[in-house]
Amino acid sequence: MKTLTVKELAGYFDHTLLKAFVTDEDFKKLCDDADKYGFKMVAINSAPVALCKEYLKDSPVHVGAAISFPLGQTTIETKVFETENAIANGADEIDYVINIVELKNKNYDYIKREMEAIVAVCRENGVLSKVIFENCYLTKDEIVKTAEIAREVKPDFIKTSTGFGTGGATVEDVRLMKSVVGDTVKVKAAGGIRDLETCLAMIEAGAERIGSSSSIEITEAYAKTL
């Protein structure tokens, strides 16, 4: 892996605030910090999208909406509507959670139709799409199968986790996902990435985006190493 500049590392981060118990002031700080450090995106639930878009109106930082978060247990139609609504409110990127129940049922056609529907809305609107697998609940075969569907549908990213499951990103899972999609789809690692060592290991394994609420601490730790 080539040595990154601090700015290049910062550009990997989706700076995350997905808790239910935050205030507008917390969102303001999230956006201010993302702009200050040069993070790629703020990752938020879909309700505060318009607010964060207003805070970031003069910034290159993207606003990303989490769809059907964190369980993925809404219908395709509901996910499509939430995606369209978030985009109408200013979302530049969409991270949606797959229907894990249907994956467990081996209903791969459903997973593909869901992915196609949401990716199509994103493409039509020039918005990036990310598909959250929630790997902690999946077998290796299920991860591979979902990645194979993604290789066909071509969202912009496939993503390891919500950060709200029983486990987060692992280097092994990032490598596995990347081995299936190759250069066709990018991989985002998220969930439990709280220190520099873990972050760099994810990038080394093939992650091209990092979801973290510890982006500032990791970036500052990296700056100290240079």
How many angstroms separate the CA atoms of 157 and 179, rounded?
14
Q: Is-catalytic flag, 106?
A: no
Q: Is-catalytic flag, 145?
A: no
Name residue, tokens 């994103």: 122
Write out the DSSP string of 170-196: -HHHHHHHHHHHTTSSEEEEESS--SH
How many angstroms separate the CA atoms of 146 and 142, rounded?
6
* Closest among 147, 99, 98, 95 to 122, alpha carbons compared: 95
Question: Side chain identity at 47, as an amino acid letter?
Answer: A
Q: Is-catalytic flag, 40?
A: no
**Annotated active-site residue in 95, 156, 173, 186:** 95
CB 78 within 8 A of CB 68: yes
**Annotated active-site residue in 40, 159, 178, 186:** 159
Active site residues: 95, 159, 188
